[in-house]
């Protein structure tokens, strides 16, 4: 057995007809990675621009972001709360996000429990519920917003925080339910049965066995609901009325000129979000 | 006995009152006649509203379908290779690459679009530099054209296309692919007859999460498209919030919903799925 004879085998095991079993590596080694990094750069580029322009000096009288680069300043970070409408819109979005996340997570998780555990003989209408969830996700958001506005006008419900909350919970429930349900797919029912055999009642079984097991799914659903809520523009624009959330305020400002503080808030939200995501990846890796 | 119904009652009621009933109200409003001054409406079974609105705004509706369709096709083409690469060759960096795909979501949708307005502006980062180097004529512009709107839509919805594709490709059993190569499949055959059919659920979810929101989107059009190339979302928004024409706006919303659902069913049929629910 000479070294010459074994050398080609390490490159690629020859198939039956002498052709390589594995296709050439050029694509997976160079072309796809280079392409993927290019796409990632494309996705990150506007965010880099946003962060850069949050440090841009303003030379004209009006404090508005300009297309031209005028020099570095941290002025907008020092004066982050100077635009009162923007600051109150931001805190409204945070309050709204927390409230709608709590409600949507509870309702969506209960619904997911029903969908995972019961089938048509015991749960008639399961298919109907699934179809409504699908329709809810499939409907363009503008239709949700417009139809909600039609309802609020018809029943003469004044638009404000309440209508925003009703709307945000409505469009989050389906996403929470589907996320929680997907994570519950491999749920072991015998653990619950064991708890009940040992004398636990339904509530104790839920608290001590079910909830801890489905918690990762519930948290994922809650994160999804929060992200949907704080970023929602289309539905909010229809039902906000006097209570203006952050995205709606920024949209209104695009017509008259955007104060640089918008980019400061954008940078802050981005930093908090990305730090949380990195932390969760690091924690996940440590557990694994 | 009652457990499944009690568990689904709160969410079910919420969706009934704030999702299904509004849709019925919307259909009813579209048949009413409204006073533009006060916004008050009376039921007149005015079926002609649909015809009138369509004859007035069919151009905007077609523009929306065209822009959303173009953005979806671009996103599918852009994101398939990267989703494939992350799923098959991401190794232990998969989470990092997925986070990179998700990065745009950490910035508000409206801000992202405004930043693209910055980038694409006539004297902005890209065009300004190219013009300065005399690579582009001075009167060249991208903003206020359909290209800018499609580019904005494609950017904003790219993660919604890439993630479902990634999930679908990730689920493919690598041994199936090995079997294909063992049976003398070429690279192209393995892709067309093994990988692609197995990613159909991902293709469907990607379409659902990209085409449908893009269809009703109006931020990209208003911020990047200027006053031309109006999309149907802008028309609906103006009808409801500016003109208080609830009847007209409702009729157009109903048409938009119908177009979206027709698109979904056509796409599902094209991909050869038996039921829609299997993707839930």
d(CA A103, CA A244): 21
Residue A112 has a CB neighbour count (10 Å cut-off) of: 27
| pLDDT tens by residue, A33-52 | 999 999 999 999 999 999 99
- Which structural domain, as residue segments, surrounds residue A221? 85-260
Q: Tell me which chain A residues have a C-beta less than 8 angstroms from the C-beta of B220.
A: none
Q: Tell me which chain B residues have a C-beta less than 8 angstroms from the C-beta of A114.
A: 3-5, 7-8
Secondary structure string (H, E, C) spanning B64-117: HHHHHHHHHHHHHHHHHHHHHHHHHHCHHHHHHHHHHHHHHHHCCHHHHHHHHH
Residue A32, classed as helix, strand or coil, is helix
Domain of residue A154, CATH code: 1.10.3720.10
d(CA B43, CA B31): 6
CB contact under 8 A, A111 and B8: yes
Q: Tell me which chain A residues have a C-beta less than 8 angstroms from the C-beta of B231.
A: none
| pLDDT higher than threshold 50 for residue A6 | no
Say which residues have a Cβ less than 8 Å from residue B146's Cβ, sequence separation at least 6: B63, B67, B225, B228, B229
- pLDDT-based confidence at residue A3 (cuts at 50, 70, 90): very low
Q: How far is A1 from chain B (nearest CA, A)?
A: 27
d(CA B275, CA B66): 26
d(CA A210, CA A192): 7
A-B Cβ pairs (cutoff 8 Å, strict): 264
| pLDDT tens by residue, A112-132 | 989 988 888 888 888 899 889
| pLDDT higher than threshold 80 for residue B40 | no
| pLDDT higher than threshold 90 for residue B67 | yes
Say which residues have a Cβ less than 8 Å from residue B210's Cβ, sequence separation at least 6: B71, B72, B75, B76, B157, B160, B161
Q: Tell me which chain A residues have a C-beta less than 8 angstroms from the C-beta of B280.
A: 130, 133-134, 178
Secondary structure letter of residue A38 according to DSSP: H
A26 falls within a domain? no
- Interface check for B119 against chain A (CB to CB < 8 A): the answer is yes
- CATH topology for B56-279 is MetI-like fold (1.10.3720)
The domain tally of chain A equals 1
| pLDDT higher than threshold 90 for residue B95 | no
Q: Identify which of A43, A138, A250 has the shortest CB distance to residue B108.
A: A250
Extents of the domains making up chain B: 56-279
Q: Tell me which chain B residues have a C-beta less than 8 angstroms from the C-beta of A154.
A: 25, 29
Mean pLDDT of B188-198: 87
Higher pLDDT, A119 or A101: A101
- pLDDT-based confidence at residue A15 (cuts at 50, 70, 90): very low
Kindly give the residue spans of alpha helices, DSSP state H, lying in chain A: 3-11, 26, 32-53, 75-78, 84-117, 126-138, 141-154, 161-183, 189-197, 202-205, 211-231, 234-239, 246-256, 261-287
Average pLDDT, chain A: 85
Secondary structure string (H, E, C) spanning chain B: CCHHHHHHHHHHHHHHHHHHHHHHHHHHHHCEEECCCCCCEEECCCCHHHHHHHHHHHHHHHHHHHHHHHHHHHHHHHHHHHHHHHHHHCHHHHHHHHHHHHHHHHCCHHHHHHHHHHHHCCCCHHHHHHHHCCCCCCCCCCCCCHHHHHHHHHHHHHHHHHHHHHHHHHCCCHHHHHHHHHCCCCHHHHHHHHHHHHCHHHHHHHHHHHHHHHHHCCHHHHHHCCCCCCCHHHHHHHHHHHCCCHHHHHHHHHHHHHHHHHHHHHHHHHHCCCCCHHHC
**How does strand B41-43 pair with strand B32-34?**
antiparallel
Cα–Cα distances in Å, from B203 out to A257, B210, B241, B270?
39, 10, 35, 11
- Chain Cα centroid distance, residue B62: 15
A181 falls within a domain? yes
| pLDDT higher than threshold 90 for residue A66 | no
Mean pLDDT of B154-160: 93
Residue B101 has a CB neighbour count (10 Å cut-off) of: 22
- What's the full length of chain A, in residues? 288
- How confident is the model at residue B82, as a pLDDT? 93
Say which residues have a Cβ less than 8 Å from residue B117's Cβ, sequence separation at least 6: A254, B143, B223, B224
CB contact under 8 A, B256 and A263: no
A24 falls within a domain? no
Phi, psi (degrees; rounded to nearest 5) at A287: -65, -35
Q: Is the dihedral of CA A97, A100, A103, A105 positive or negative?
A: negative
A18 falls within a domain? no
Compute chain B's Rg from CA coordinates. Answer: 23
Q: Chain A residue closest to B235 (CA)?
A: A142
Phi, psi (degrees; rounded to nearest 5) at A124: -70, 145
Residue A61, classed as helix, strand or coil, is coil
Q: What is the ipTM of this complex?
A: 0.86
d(CA B251, CA B236): 9
Residue from B156, B158, B100, B159 nearest A278 by CA: B100
Q: Identify which of A65, A114, A146 has the shortest CB distance to residue B4.
A: A114
Extract the tokens encoding A147: 């139809």
Average pLDDT, chain B: 86
| pLDDT tens by residue, A156-209 | 899 999 999 999 999 999 999 998 988 887 777 788 888 888 988 888 888 888
d(CA A23, CA A9): 14
| pLDDT higher than threshold 80 for residue A18 | no
CB contact under 8 A, A107 and B89: no
Report whether B124 contacts A58 (CB < 8 A).
no
Phi, psi (degrees; rounded to nearest 5) at A233: -115, -50
Q: Identify which of A147, A153, A258 has the shortest CB distance to residue B39.
A: A153
DSSP letters of A150-203?
Answer: HHHHHTTPPPSHHHHHHHHHHHHHHHHHHHHHHHTTT--HHHHHHHHHTT--HH
Mean pLDDT of B162-172: 89
Q: How far is A120 from chain B (nearest CA, A)?
A: 10
- Interface check for A53 against chain B (CB to CB < 8 A): the answer is yes
Q: How far is B89 from chain A (nearest CA, A)?
A: 8
| pLDDT higher than threshold 60 for residue B42 | yes
Torsion of CA B42, B45, B46, B51, to 10 degrees: 140
d(CA A76, CA A72): 11
Residue A255, classed as helix, strand or coil, is helix
- Interface check for B196 against chain A (CB to CB < 8 A): the answer is no
- Interface check for A228 against chain B (CB to CB < 8 A): the answer is no
Q: Tell me which chain B residues have a C-beta less than 8 angstroms from the C-beta of A147.
A: 22-23, 25-26, 250, 253
- How confident is the model at residue A116, as a pLDDT? 86
Mean pLDDT of B174-185: 88
Q: Tell me which chain A residues have a C-beta less than 8 angstroms from the C-beta of B169.
A: none
- How confident is the model at residue A88, as a pLDDT? 94
Q: Identify which of B4, B108, B261 has the shortest CB distance to residue A247.
A: B108
- With a pLDDT cut of 90, the percent of chain B lying above it is 34
CB contact under 8 A, A134 and B280: yes
A131 falls within a domain? yes
Q: Which of A107-111, A190-194, B121-125 has the lowest mean pLDDT?
A: B121-125
- How confident is the model at residue A9, as a pLDDT? 39
Q: How far is B4 from chain A (nearest CA, A)?
A: 5
- pLDDT-based confidence at residue B37 (cuts at 50, 70, 90): low
Scanning A136-155 for CB atoms below 8 A from B yields 136-144, 146-151, 153-154
Q: Tell me which chain B residues have a C-beta less than 8 angstroms from the C-beta of A129.
A: 8, 12
Q: How far is A5 from chain B (nearest CA, A)?
A: 23
- Interface check for A35 against chain B (CB to CB < 8 A): the answer is yes
Q: Identify which of B15, B89, B216 has the shortest CB distance to residue A132.
A: B15
Q: Tell me which chain A residues have a C-beta less than 8 angstroms from the C-beta of B18.
A: 148, 151, 166-167, 169-170
| pLDDT tens by residue, A138-157 | 899 999 999 999 999 889 89
- How confident is the model at residue A190, as a pLDDT? 85
- pLDDT-based confidence at residue A10 (cuts at 50, 70, 90): very low
| pLDDT higher than threshold 50 for residue A8 | no
A44 falls within a domain? no
| Terminal alpha carbon distance of chain B | 26
Say which residues have a Cβ less than 8 Å from residue B163's Cβ, sequence separation at least 6: B83, B98, B101, B102
Burial bucket for residue A54 (CB in 10 Å: 0-12, 13-18, 19+): buried
- With a pLDDT cut of 90, the percent of chain A lying above it is 42
Extract the tokens encoding B157: 């919805």
């Amino acid at each position: 057995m000479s070294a010459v004879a074994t050398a080609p085998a390490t490159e690629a095991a020859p198939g039956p007809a002498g052709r390589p079993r594995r296709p050439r590596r050029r694509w997976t080694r160079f072309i796809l990675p280079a392409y993927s990094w290019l796409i990632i750069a494309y996705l990150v580029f506007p965010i880099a621009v946003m962060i850069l322009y949050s440090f841009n000096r303003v030379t004209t009288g009006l404090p508005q972001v300009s297309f031209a680069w005028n020099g570095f300043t941290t002025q907008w970070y020092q004066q982050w709360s100077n635009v009162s409408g923007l600051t109150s819109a931001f805190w409204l979005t945070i309050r709204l996000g927390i409230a709608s996340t709590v409600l949507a997570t509870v309702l969506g998780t209960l619904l997911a429990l029903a969908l995972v555990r019961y089938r048509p003989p015991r749960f008639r209408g399961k298919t109907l519920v699934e179809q409504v969830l699908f329709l809810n996700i499939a409907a363009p958001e503008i239709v949700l917003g417009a139809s909600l506005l039609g309802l609020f006008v018809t029943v003469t419900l004044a638009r404000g925080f309440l209508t925003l909350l009703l709307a945000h919970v409505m469009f989050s429930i389906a996403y929470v339910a589907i996320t929680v349900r997907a994570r519950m797919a491999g749920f072991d029912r015998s653990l619950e049965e064991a708890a009940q055999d040992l004398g636990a009642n339904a509530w104790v079984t839920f608290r001590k066995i079910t909830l801890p097991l489905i918690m990762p799914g519930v948290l994922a659903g809650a994160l999804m609901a929060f992200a949907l809520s704080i970023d929602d523009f289309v539905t909010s624009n229809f039902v906000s009325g006097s209570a203006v959330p952050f995205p709606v305020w920024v949209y209104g400002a695009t017509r008259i000129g955007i104060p640089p503080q918008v980019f400061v808030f954008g940078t802050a939200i981005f930093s908090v979000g990305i730090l949380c995501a990195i932390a969760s990846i690091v924690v996940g890796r440590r557990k694994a | 006995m009652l457990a499944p119904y009690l568990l689904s009652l709160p969410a079910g009621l919420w969706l009934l009152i704030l999702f299904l009933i509004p849709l019925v109200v919307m259909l009813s409003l579209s048949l009413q006649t409204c006073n533009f001054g006060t916004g008050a409406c009376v039921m007149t079974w005015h079926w002609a509203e649909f015809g009138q609105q369509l004859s007035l705004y069919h151009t905007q509706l077609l523009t929306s379908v065209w822009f959303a369709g173009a953005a979806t096709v671009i996103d599918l083409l852009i994101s398939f290779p990267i989703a494939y690469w992350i799923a098959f060759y991401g190794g232990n960096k998969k989470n990092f690459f997925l986070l990179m795909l998700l990065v745009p979501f950490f910035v508000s949708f409206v801000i992202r679009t405004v930043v693209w307005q910055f980038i694409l502006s006539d004297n902005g980062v890209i065009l300004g530099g190219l013009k300065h180097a005399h690579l582009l004529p001075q009167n060249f512009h991208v903003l206020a054209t359909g290209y800018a709107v499609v580019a904005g839509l494609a950017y904003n919805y790219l993660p919604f296309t890439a993630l479902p594709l990634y999930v679908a490709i990730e689920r493919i059993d690598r041994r199936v692919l090995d079997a294909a190569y063992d049976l003398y499949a070429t690279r192209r055959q393995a892709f067309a007859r093994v990988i692609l059919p197995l990613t159909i659920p991902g293709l469907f979810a990607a379409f659902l999460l990209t085409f449908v929101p893009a269809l009703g989107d109006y931020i990209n059009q208003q911020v990047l498209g200027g006053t031309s190339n109006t999309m149907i979302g802008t028309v609906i928004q103006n009808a409801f919030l500016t003109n208080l024409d609830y009847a007209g706006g409702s009729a157009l919303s109903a048409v938009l919903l119908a177009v979206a659902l027709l698109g979904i069913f056509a796409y599902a049929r094209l991909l050869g799925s038996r039921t829609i629910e299997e993707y839930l």
